[in-house]
Amino acid sequence: MTSAVAVPRFKRVTIRNPEWGYAVLQMIFEPLYIESLPSNFDILTWHTALSTALKQYLGVFGSAMHIDILHLHGEEATMQFPRAELTGFGAAVNGFVGNVEGKTFGFKTVAVGDLFMGLLGRREEVCVWAD
């Protein structure tokens, strides 16, 4: 007598309307701000710069946008924000030019996506085409 082993069936899951959007931004300075790079890129600095950019472009709605900074790595930050605000967020940070300690700074979008795991592949895409 042979017993049959039940094979688990996989289910397909479709995420139609994700609640959150994710972005990896790089803060860039002109002229370069190398001498004190690690100490100046903390969460408070990022949050202040992002709030300023959002308020300048979107007004009160921009200053009320909920942003979570998930990870900092050098001059890059990975963040989460409401997916419905993706267009306004992108326009605000890409068009922003600020000034701190006599240096002009702005943001470069490294990756944007609906799913957090999608950012990793997009970040590596930049490295492939930059060489």
Question: Which CATH number belongs to the domain containing residue 108 in this structure?
Answer: 3.30.70.3250
d(CA 90, CA 110): 11
Report the pLDDT value the prediction gives residue 53, as an integer from 0 to 100.
Answer: 93
Residues 64/92, Cβ–Cβ less than 8 Å: no
| Helix or strand (DSSP H, E) at 78 | strand 76-82
In a domain, 124, yes or no: yes
Report the pLDDT value the prediction gives residue 38, as an integer from 0 to 100.
Answer: 45
Segments of the chain with pLDDT less than 50? 37-39
Please state the domain count of the chain: 1
In a domain, 125, yes or no: yes
In a domain, 1, yes or no: no
Token pair in block for residue 102: 């006599």
**Mean pLDDT estimate for the chain:** 82
Question: Domain limits at 122?
Answer: 20-130
Per-residue pLDDT of 49-77, as tens digits, reads 999 999 999 999 888 999 999 999 888 89
Strand, coil or helix: 7: coil
